Structure formats: structure tokens, C-alpha cells
């Protein structure tokens, strides 16, 4: 399979605990390359836009509040089968259901404060990458 790119966020619960380096080490150990990265503070509008697909869900307002509660690190990851591979490295949404050794099993605090985001399909990966990065900022 050809190289693929996915979009990742290290969420506020993880930046608050200074876990960016530890999470990046797990990403790199899985064979994924961090080809773009920046630390940002999301505006409410940016967080609402990013999670627009969830706007009707009961957890939406709390999720937006959480995502703007502190800095996040947004990233583009590149590798063979990067989208599925990163979902594996992340683990299940609810850390109680996440497999041993995954980022969420190791670090997540709750189903909401679950340390990382990763795209779930090629279309969403492309859309999410371009929500935060221009092509010039991605260096493969
Ligand atoms: N989330 C939440 N409560 C829920 C389900 C999800 O707070 O019951 C949050 C959680 O931070 C999750 C995000 O909403 O990562 C997006 O949910 P999704 O179902 O897309 O999970 P993911 O793809 O992140 O595993």
C-alpha cells in the first residue's frame, strides 16, 4: 500500500500532563512519521467546526468546552496504512475498552478526556489535515 496521511490531535488532558513527547514516542515506535506539528489553542468556533459532525450529539457542548480548555498539538502523521494504524495505536474511544499498550489505555482519563484524536477515513483525514495545515507546512 502507498504512503497515507492521517490527522492527529494531542488533546488538552494530555498537554496538561506534559505527555506530548511520550505520545509522540508511541506514534514513532509504530512506524508513523510526524510530518507536520503545531501547538495551538482552539477557539470555540474552531472546535465547533472541527466536531460539526457531532453537533447533535448529547456530549457536543462538553466536548467543545474540553477541547478549548487548554492547548492542543495538531499533527499530520504519514506511513503505510496510517489511518488504520493510528486508530490501532490510539485504542478505543472509551479507555475502559482500549487494548493494553494503546495511547488511550495508557494515558486517557475518561471517554471525553481521551488524550488523542485520529481521523477515521481517507475523506475525513484530508478534510481535517486542511482544516489546520497548508500543503507548505507538511514536510514528508
Ligand atoms: N466523546 C465523548 N463522549 C462520548 C463519545 C465521544 O465525550 O460518549 C468525545 C471523545 O473525546 C471522542 C470524541 O468525542 O474522542 C469524538 O467521538 P468519536 O465517536 O468520533 O470517537 P473517536 O473517533 O475519537 O474514537
Is 44 annotated in some ligand binding site? no
Instruction: From 57, 96, 112, give the residue whose CB has the most ligand 1 atoms within 8 Å, as the site to mutate.
Output: 112
Name the phi and psi angles at 101, rounded to 5.
85, -10
Position 3 confidence tier, pLDDT thresholds 50, 70, 90:
very high
State whether the beta carbon of 109 lies less than 6 angstroms from ligand 1.
no
When pLDDT is averaged across residues 5-31 and rounded to a whole number, the result is: 99
Do the interacting molecules here have an ipTM over 0.90?
A: yes
Query: Per-residue pLDDT tens for 41-62?
Result: 999 999 999 999 999 999 999 9
Is 11 annotated in some ligand binding site? yes
pTM: 0.98
CA-CA-CA-CA torsion sign (51, 97, 107, 121): negative
Q: Which value, in Å, is the radius of gyration of the alpha carbons in the chain?
A: 14
For the CA of 113, the nearest atom of ligand 1: 11
Query: Per-residue pLDDT tens for 61-95?
Result: 999 999 999 999 999 999 999 999 999 999 999 99
Amino acid at each position: 500500500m502507498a504512503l497515507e496521511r492521517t490527522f492527529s490531535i494531542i488533546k488538552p488532558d494530555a498537554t496538561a500532563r506534559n505527555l506530548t513527547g511520550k505520545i509522540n514516542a508511541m506514534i514513532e515506535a509504530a512506524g508513523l512519521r510526524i510530518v507536520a506539528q503545531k501547538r495551538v489553542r482552539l477557539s470555540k468556533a474552531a472546535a465547533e467546526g472541527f466536531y460539526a459532525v457531532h453537533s447533535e450529539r448529547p456530549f457536543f457542548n462538553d466536548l467543545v468546552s474540553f477541547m478549548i480548555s487548554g492547548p492542543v498539538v495538531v499533527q499530520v502523521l504519514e506511513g503505510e496504512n496510517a489511518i488504520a494504524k493510528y486508530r490501532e495505536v490510539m485504542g478505543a474511544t472509551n479507555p475502559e475498552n482500549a487494548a493494553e499498550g494503546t495511547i488511550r489505555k495508557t494515558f486517557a482519563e475518561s471517554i471525553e478526556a481521551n488524550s488523542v484524536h485520529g481521523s477515521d477515513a481517507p475523506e475525513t483525514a484530508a478534510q481535517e489535515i486542511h482544516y489546520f495545515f497548508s500543503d507548505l507546512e507538511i514536510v514528508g
